[in-house]
Structure 1
Amino acid sequence: MSASLIDRVRERLAAESAPLRPTVVAAAIRAESGGLLGDSDVLTGLRRLETELTGAGVLEPLLCAEGTTDVLVTAPDSVWVDDGGGLRRSEIRFTDEDAVRRLAQRLALAAGRRLDEAQPWVDGQLTGLGPFSVRLHAVLPPIAAAGTCLSLRVLRPATQDLDSLIRAGAIEPEAAELIGDIVAARLALLITGGTGAGKTTMLAAILGAVRPDERIVCVEDAPELAPTHPHLVNLVARGANVEGAGAVTVRDLVRQALRMRPDRLIVGEVRGAEVVDLLTALNTGHDGGAGTVHANSPAEVPARLEALAALGGLPRAALHSQLAAAVQVVLHVGRDTSGARRLREIAVLTASSDGMVRAVTAWHVEGGFADGAKRLAELVRSRR
């Protein structure tokens, strides 16, 4: 089948109102070829078009592979995959830039979004691509100077518990003991780290250690938290539709969660003005709350939260005052030299004489217990 014939079949199918079943695609191939193709040629064309027009196309095997967390396309011949050991280049290739663009636009449409010259980027969520939902982000040229850029994050439910993370070497036994004390004492905590560092996995494992008679209400931008716990409520934000209406933000859901009698209020990822509502809630009797924040180290958490609180109109001094009373512990996760995800540090947030909050290391994967260990022990004892 020639490229021009494939293009004519694509145009014919684009105008087709019926579902794109194999019989419909085969009929389009025969019609556009004038009936000159044999059965083997029609079957070859059918397989090629099915790959292009259904699911994630040539990326489908990567998304369905066990352990895949991210699939990234930066050029037709540059497809990268992360399956837990860091990014590596795959052998998957697109025929050309147009093929990448068509896939990005089709996936955007499946997510209820538009992607074209007037709206050259998209952020959405997909279902039906393998066993898990997928977060979609795509950018078109000329915004993406080198060509269409496609990023797919596989949203696998985070179901691991602390024991499994200890066995996998992600948590040192002495750190696990500290985490158990933190959970039992109902200390509020934040989990920090970079993208793909394992923040959500760590949070789910910690929530699995919460007493079964406590009610956990989780607010998320995308459904990832699935801890093994008998009393769990998940609230998931929703983006606006193509008309720009119908959005439900994380901040909206945090406010709703406060009316649902949570014993533990959890925000899957604190990335905006919802930090104001979370800190307010933790300061009004909702002990033991938790969330994740993008930060390179616990020491950077106060500055990171300052920036987020500014979006909600909370000044710097007020943020530090709220933070000092609301959150006690920071757990930092990251990758080691082999690319494996590990808990690297546990820190305690303390207010200095000028009212500013700083993080003091209580335990570090490379140095063991540190100055903050005594303060952490005092906090645990005071809550028991």
Structure 2
Amino acid sequence: MPAGLVERVQARLAGEGGSLTSASVARAVRAETGVLVSDAEMLRLIRMLLRELVGAGPLTSLLSDPLTTDVVVNGPDDVRVDRGDGWERVSVTFSGEEAVARLARRLAAAADRRLDDAHPYVDASLADGTRLHAVLAPMAASGTCLSLRVLRPTRYDLAALQHQGTFPGLVLPALRAVIQARLAFLVSGGTGTGKTTLLAALLGAVPESERIVTVEDAGELRPNHPHVVRLVARPENVEGAGSIELRELVRQALRMRPDRLIVGEVRGSEVVDLLAALNTGHEGGAGTVHANAVAEVPARLEALASLGGLDRCSLHAQLRGAVQVLIHLRRSVTGRVVSEIGVLVDNGSGLVQSMTAFDASGRPGPGAERLGNMLMAAEVDVPW
């Protein structure tokens, strides 16, 4: 493709206005090339330009694959996809660094976000729910990087996850009992372990008579439940104004008479308001949090609470009464699996720690008795 043709055609089309069609692109190409072009060459240029100017460009076919969960661009010649079995390199390439940067800027603009030299990174959601993260060069020393996470409309229930092997041993009946007893819980795990999927499936098991209010940084949580209100935070616009933070949404959610308050991902100072809410009669709340193991969740919450001005002792005092159960997910060679269920207990010095109720094989651990006592206190049968 002639140097600078994409930019010139793009500028001409923007000046003309109207919808982007093959005919409008052809007119712009003829005007900008200034030379006679054969029909075959014109068709080739139109196809290349449409790929450059519309949607996700060269990544479209990867994103439309129903198995794709993530697509990353590490450079013009390094595109990789995760279809559930880890990263694999694909044959898709870009014409150069500028082509990657052009796609990143176009996707950011489609999400009404700014991406330029003054603001060289962006984290946004596209119209179809796909999560976009991009970093421009030279902040990305190896060249512009793109990360796209695909959110599928498929809604998993607990039975479907059980069929996929997510719940070893007695884990599934234990989780059903936790929901029935209205115990507050957090789902922990690393990136891509399926925390949101499991949380949505668990919320799908909540009785239909209950009202669920979800609060998220991005609208990923879509439980299959008839009475759900979804609140989504809003980033600042291109003018640097209009942002609505997750913490404010948690406060608003408390005024909406939720039977269960759910924070899609606890990642900042909103943990202070969530724990305060769960300590004031809002039972059965839940959320997800990034952590490498159940035992590390209290320390992770300490770090997040410090952002909201809550010290360590105060955090543990709140956590003791707010959350009862921790559920940890990990990725294995066979898929995503619940590797541990823990219960929070006082360690005798005023701090909270996790005790294993069910281990990676789904067998009861030392904390199973304590979990059973909580179920019986809620008049729920202990399923083990």
Is the pair's TM-score, using the shorter chain for normalization, greater than 0.5? yes
- The reply to whether residue 351 of structure 1 matches residue 355 of structure 2 is no
1:202 aligned counterpart, secondary structure: helix
Pairwise CA distance, 1:215: 0.7
| Bigger mean CA offset, 258-267 vs 28-37 | 28-37
d(CA) in 1 for partners of 2:217, 2:302: 21
Cα separation, partners in 2 of 1:4 and 1:201, compared to 1, 3 Å: closer
Cα separation, partners in 2 of 1:327 and 1:77, compared to 1, 3 Å: same
- The reply to whether residue 372 of structure 1 matches residue 367 of structure 2 is yes
Identity %: 57
Q: For 1:145-164, list aligned pairs within 5 A.
A: 145-157=141-153, 159-164=155-160
Pairwise CA distance, 1:15: 4.1
Deviations along 1:313-345, whole A, 9 cap, x unmatched? 11110000000100000000110134x111111
2:230 aligned counterpart, secondary structure: strand
The one-letter code matched in structure 2 to 1:107 is L
1:79 maps to: 79
Deviations along 1:289-308, whole A, 9 cap, x unmatched? 00000000010001000010
The one-letter code matched in structure 2 to 1:308 is L
1:240 maps to: 236
d(CA) in 2 for partners of 1:174, 1:332: 15
The one-letter code matched in structure 2 to 1:238 is R
CA contact (8 A) 1:158 1:200 kept: no
2:109 maps to: 109
1:41 maps to: 41
d(CA) in 1 for partners of 2:124, 2:236: 10
d(CA) in 1 for partners of 2:204, 2:313: 35
d(CA) in 1 for partners of 2:85, 2:160: 18
Pairwise CA distance, 1:193: 0.4
The one-letter code matched in structure 2 to 1:380 is L
Q: For 1:299-314, list aligned pairs within 5 A.
A: 299-314=295-310
2:119 maps to: 119
Q: For 1:170-181, list aligned pairs within 5 A.
A: 170-181=166-177
| Bigger mean CA offset, 143-152 vs 366-375 | 366-375
1:368 aligned counterpart, secondary structure: coil
d(CA) in 2 for partners of 1:332, 1:116: 39
CA contact (8 A) 2:170 2:362 kept: no
d(CA) in 1 for partners of 2:362, 2:259: 34
Superposed structure 1 runs of 4+ greater than 6 Å apart? none
1:30 aligned counterpart, secondary structure: helix
CA contact (8 A) 2:329 2:337 kept: yes
Relative to the length of structure 2, the TM-score reads 0.95
- The reply to whether residue 191 of structure 1 matches residue 187 of structure 2 is yes
Structure 1: gaps (5+ residues): none
2:34 aligned counterpart, secondary structure: coil
d(CA) in 2 for partners of 1:231, 1:137: 32
CA contact (8 A) 2:272 2:310 kept: yes
CA contact (8 A) 1:263 1:287 kept: yes
Q: CA RMSD in A?
A: 1.5
Deviations along 1:161-184, whole A, 9 cap, x unmatched? 100100111112510010011111
Pairwise CA distance, 1:241: 0.5
1:315 maps to: 311
Q: For 1:228-267, list aligned pairs within 5 A.
A: 228-267=224-263
Pairwise CA distance, 1:10: 4.1
d(CA) in 2 for partners of 1:230, 1:118: 44
Aligned length: 379
2:29 maps to: 29
2:382 maps to: none
Structure 2: gaps (5+ residues): 380-384
Pairwise CA distance, 1:4: 5.3
CA contact (8 A) 1:161 1:206 kept: yes
Pairwise CA distance, 1:18: 3.2
2:162 maps to: 166
Pairwise CA distance, 1:6: 4.8
Relative to the length of structure 1, the TM-score reads 0.95
1:369 aligned counterpart, secondary structure: coil
1:361 maps to: 356
CA contact (8 A) 1:125 1:136 kept: yes
| Bigger mean CA offset, 107-116 vs 348-357 | 107-116
CA contact (8 A) 1:345 1:365 kept: yes
